[in-house]
Chain A
Amino acid sequence: MMFPQHFWRNVAWLWLTATVLLVIAVVIDNHRDLWEVQPRPQTTNTTLATQISQGQTLLQIGNCLACHTERGQPMGAGGRPFETPFGRVYSNNITPDMAQGLGTWQADDFWRALHYGKSKDGRLLTPVFPYKHTTLISRGDSDAMFAALKTLPAETTQNPIPKVSESLDWPFNSGVAIAIWRSLFFSPGTYKPQVTQSNEWNRGAYLAQGLGHCAACHSPRNAWGASGEVNDFSGGLMPLVNWYAPSLLSAQETGLAQQSISEIALLLKSGRNATAVASGPMAEVVKHSTQNWPEADLLAVASYLKEQAQTNSASAIVNKPSITKSSGNFLSLGAKIYEQHCEQCHQAKGQGVVNAYPALAQNRAILLSDPTNLVQAVLYGGYPAATAHNPRPFGMPPFVLTLEDREIAAVLTHLRSQWGNQASEVTPLQVNRIRALQGK
């Protein structure tokens, strides 16, 4: 079929115009802080000391310093690496250091970083910084956090922190790529209290969706690395870190709807409760953050999450375990390994030991359809977080050097099919994949 020449000319013009409009839209979208009216710093009658102490609590709720501190380096000086499917990102220095930190920043600049995900110099921050969540933080809280950060000693890391342009893979390391990503997956917002809900519910929602950034791990990430909405708690596999953050809605995974508010709060406060232990990245969150939260905030978040689990349980995906018949050899290998390496602590019927070793029978963590966390636990062992409520936890040894993939798969399949447990088989390939990804 032939088209006249002017047709193609029109198509070209149309395409060009659409592209230019799109570029303008992306630019406008990423720089709305330049004309949007910013909330003024709140002039309250609290003293600076009160503001600083409120800010310190908020920094702890957000677990800010855990990400902005590299192992063995000064607190808040940044430099902690984060592996993403698009390359590595290092956290920034948030101490008052004049050259590398926030020394020259004002409260307005800090607000712009939290609310718009933009640095003082106008650079667009990468979404490893969870600004999807921090955008909900109120101006008053932002100012208090900034006041608290100003009291940290000005420090720098021993080696300079690599820039995003150097550490991310091409083409994701360009400002253009980050701008497009932001236009697709980020819009600044504020928390709008639900008038039909109680103050406590609203406080819980504000913290869980905003500063607490629960969904940064507890929601699935898409192919572009974007996490779900701020109130999407449907669970997700943390890319590269390789831990599965279970759904906070599903009865099978965390069962929050079935637990009392104080039980949920207890897990956050002490790192364990009657039916669960926080492990992997969540143990880190408990150690550095939630164990220090004010009691009222813990209860608020617990009651909000419980309510979310109750109202959304229908929409939570119910994974029917696909039970495959494992071969007799595989099952008897699993039983043998269990007897040799596991039974001493977890006991013959998988009943565990109260306050020491978790029961494996009817344990939600054992029955997760994604066996990633189980494989991590067997490969690397670990201790729960030592907290005021559980100061001397019992631990599990690593088996990465003693058990082969096939043995780990067999023992996990064994305990997923014993004592009333019903979950899918774990294959040596699944174990191998996780072992290989952990590297060293």
Chain B
Amino acid sequence: MIGKLAWFSTSLLVLTWQPAWGQGKDFKDDMAERTRACTACHGDQGKAGPDGYYPRLAGKPAGYLFNQLKNFQEGKRHYNLMTRLVDPLSDAYLLEIAQHFASLKLPYPAPALPSARVSAQVLKRGKQLALEGDAAKDVPACTACHGTKLTGVQAHVPGLLGLPLDYLNAQLGAWQTHQRKARQPDCMKEVVARLQSEDLVAVATWLSTQNMPTDTAPASKVSSPLKASWLCGSAPELSKVQP
């Protein structure tokens, strides 16, 4: 009897779930539905693509994501598929898309183990650059802008942890060859220009092997404003004296 009832109620459920003509099965009028074109490559809810080249979007600062969408539109970043997708969209909608992904909180995957071929020396150099910088070359530490925990800073600076090595290498390489740019004055371009390719690989390798801290949220502000000589067009708040 109970089995029959269960069967009956299930079939009722199925009947009531029958989509109306043109309304769409499983269709929800929300941002997740609107950003299917994004999540097809960047993973469900923007948790990152499977192959290491489509970075995570979820939980990154909204201002950073918006700047990147505009950079593709304005030719400061180059990837044909992205450019074609964002071209017809308005600033207001791009901001809404950025805010949507920024608001998603998802667990991070475990970081990659350093490959056996990576020497301890490389990891040491990477760690040094990330946490202390290189005073001789006047290169600040990654943590100076990207947050003491390297999880990014609101509203425009991305976190550097939880990203695949391939993606980090590709991006630093793109900064080096001016394929990737940010708004002038372009502080990241300046940082990359002062480093050798080996340094870039070292810091990318170290970053890709680090565990996420328990609190993965971007910091609300930088711990101390940047030295006067450093200005970032895409994140002007980094240089201002924080209130």
Enumerate chain A interface residues (CB-CB to B < 8 A). 70-72, 271, 283-284, 286-287, 344-345, 347-348, 351-354, 356-357, 359, 380-387, 391-398, 400-401, 440
Among B27, B40, B86, point to the contact of A356 (Cβ < 8 A).
B27
> From B83, which residue of chain A is reached at the shortest CB distance?
A71
Q: Which of A345, A383, A397 interacts with B88 by CB under 8 Å?
A: A383
- Which B5-36 residues sit within 8 Å CB-CB of chain A? 19, 21-27, 29, 33-36
Q: Contacts A380-B84, A382-B84 given: A395-B36 contact, CB under 8 Å?
A: yes
- B2 close to chain A: CB less than 8 A: no
**A10 to B75, alpha carbons, bound, how many Å?**
62
Give the residues from 79 to 103 in chain B that come closer than 8 angstroms, CB to CB, to chain A: 80-81, 84-90, 92-93, 96
Is B190 interfacial (CB-CB < 8 Å)? Answer: no
Contact B40 A384 (CB under 8 A): no
B25 and A382 contacting across the interface, CB-CB below 8 Å: no
Known: A383-B37, A394-B36, A397-B37. A283 touches B88 (CB 8 A): yes
Among A387, A392, A396, chain B packs the most CB atoms within 10 A around the CB of A392
| B23 / chain A contacts, CB cutoff of 8 Å | 353-354
A28 → B minimal CB distance (Å): 44
Q: 15 A-B residue contacts at CB 8 Å?
A: A71-B73, A286-B88, A287-B88, A347-B19, A347-B22, A352-B24, A353-B27, A356-B27, A381-B81, A384-B88, A385-B88, A386-B88, A391-B92, A393-B34, A395-B36
Query: Which residue of B22, B34, B89 contacts A354 across the interface (Cβ within 8 Å)?
Result: B22
Q: Is the CB of A72 within 8 A of B74?
A: yes
| Cβ contacts under 8 Å, A400 to chain B | 81
Q: In the complex, what residues of A have CB within 8 A of residue B33's CB?
A: 356, 394
CB atoms of A398 and B88 under 8 A apart: no
The residue that B40 contacts in the complex, of A387, A397, A440, with Cβ under 8 A, is A397
- Complex CA–CA separation, A347 to B19 (angstroms): 10
Indicate if B76 sits at the interface (CB-CB under 8 A): yes
Q: Is the CB of B22 within 8 A of A382?
A: no
Task: Say yes or no: A380-B81 contact (C-beta < 8 A), given A287-B88, A396-B37, A397-B36.
Answer: yes
Give Cα A348 to B96, complex, Å: 30
Q: Which residues of B contact A401 (CB under 8 A)?
A: 41, 81
Known pairs A383-B86, A398-B85; list 12 more (Cβ under 8 Å): A284-B87, A286-B88, A347-B24, A353-B23, A356-B29, A382-B85, A383-B85, A392-B93, A393-B88, A394-B34, A396-B36, A397-B39
> Across the interface, which residues of A come within 8 angstroms of B26, CB to CB?
344
Q: Are B37 and A386 in contact (CB under 8 A)?
A: no
8 pairs of A and B residues whose beta carbons are closest in the complex = A397-B40, A395-B37, A353-B24, A72-B75, A71-B75, A72-B74, A386-B90, A385-B88
Given contacts A72-B76, A395-B36, contact A357 B85 (CB under 8 A): no
Q: Closest approach, in angstroms, between the C-beta of A252 and any C-beta of chain B? A: 23
On whether the beta carbons of B80 and A440 are closer than 8 Å, the reply is: yes
B73 partner residues in chain A, CB cutoff 8 A:
71
Q: Are B36 and A352 in contact (CB under 8 A)?
A: no
Given A356-B27, A383-B85, verify A395-B75 contact (CB < 8 Å).
Answer: no
Residues in chain B near residue A71, CB distance under 8 A = 73-75
Interface size of B as a range: 20 to 34
Cβ distance B126 to chain A, nearest Cβ, rounded Å: 30
Chain B positions within 8 Å of A382 at CB level: 37, 84-85, 88
Q: Beyond A72-B75, A397-B37, is A391–B85 a contact (Cβ under 8 Å)?
A: no
- Expressed in whole angstroms, the Cα–Cα distance for A261 and B41 within the complex equals 40
CB distance from A187 to the nearest CB of B (A): 36
In the assembled complex, the CB of B230 is this many whole angstroms from the nearest CB of chain A, namely: 24
The residue from A284, A286, A395 contacting B34, defined by CB atoms under 8 A apart: A395
Are A397's CB and B75's CB within 8 A?
Answer: no
The reply to whether A391 and B90 form a contact with Cβ atoms under 8 Å apart is yes
Contacts of A397 in B (CB 8 A): 36-41
Task: Note all chain A residues with C-beta closer than 8 A to B75.
Answer: 70-72
Closest CB in chain A relative to B90 CB, distance in Å: 4
Q: Smallest Cβ distance from A253 to chain B, in angstroms?
A: 22
CA distance A393 to B25 in the complex (A): 19
Compute how far the CA of A337 lies from the CA of B13 in the bound complex, rounded to whole angstroms: 29
A42-B222 Cα distance, complex, nearest whole Å: 60
- Contact residue among A72, A286, A351, A380 (Cβ-Cβ distance under 8 Å from B21): A351
Residues from 23 to 72 in B contacting A, C-beta threshold 8 Å:
23-27, 29, 33-41
Give every chain B residue within 8 A of A387 (Cβ-Cβ): 90
B84 to chain A, nearest CB (A): 5
Task: Report Cα–Cα, A352/B73, bound state, in Å.
Answer: 29
The answer to whether residues A381 and B88 also contact, given A72-B75, A354-B22 and a CB cut-off of 8 A, is no
By beta carbon, the residue of chain A nearest B29 is A356
Residues of B within 8 A of A398 (CB): 37, 40-41, 81, 84-85
The complex places the Cα of A283 from the Cα of B84 at a distance, in Å, of: 11
In the complex the two chains form, is A357's CB within 8 Å of B90's CB?
A: no
A386 to B38 CA separation, bound complex (whole angstroms): 16
**Do A357 and B24 contact each other (CB < 8 Å), given the known contacts A380-B84, A397-B36, A397-B40?**
yes
Question: Looking across the interface, which residue of chain A has its beta carbon closest to that of B181?
Answer: A72
Cα–Cα distance between A356 and B22 once the two chains are bound (Å): 10
Cβ–Cβ < 8 Å partners of A394 in chain B: 33-34, 36
Q: Is the CB of A381 within 8 A of B37?
A: yes
Kindly provide the distance from the CB of A66 to the nearest chain B CB, expressed in whole angstroms.
Answer: 11
CA distance A350 to B92 in the complex (A): 31
CB distance from B115 to the nearest CB of A (A): 25
Distance in Å: Cβ of A372 to nearest Cβ of chain B = 15
Which residues of chain B come closer than 8 Å to A283, judged between CB atoms?
Answer: 87-88
Q: When chains A and B are docked, how far (Å) is the Cα of A385 from the Cα of B27?
A: 21
A353 to B26, CA, bound (A): 11
In the bound complex, residues from chain A placing their C-beta under 8 Å from that of B88 are 271, 283-284, 286-287, 382-386, 393
Across the interface, do A347 and B36 meet the contact criterion of CB distance under 8 Å? no
Which of B22, B75, B80 has the largest number of chain A CB atoms within 10 A? B22
Q: Which residues of B contact A345 (CB under 8 A)?
A: 24, 36
- In the assembled complex, the CB of A133 is this many whole angstroms from the nearest CB of chain B, namely 24
Q: Which residues of A contact B40 (CB under 8 A)?
A: 381, 397-398
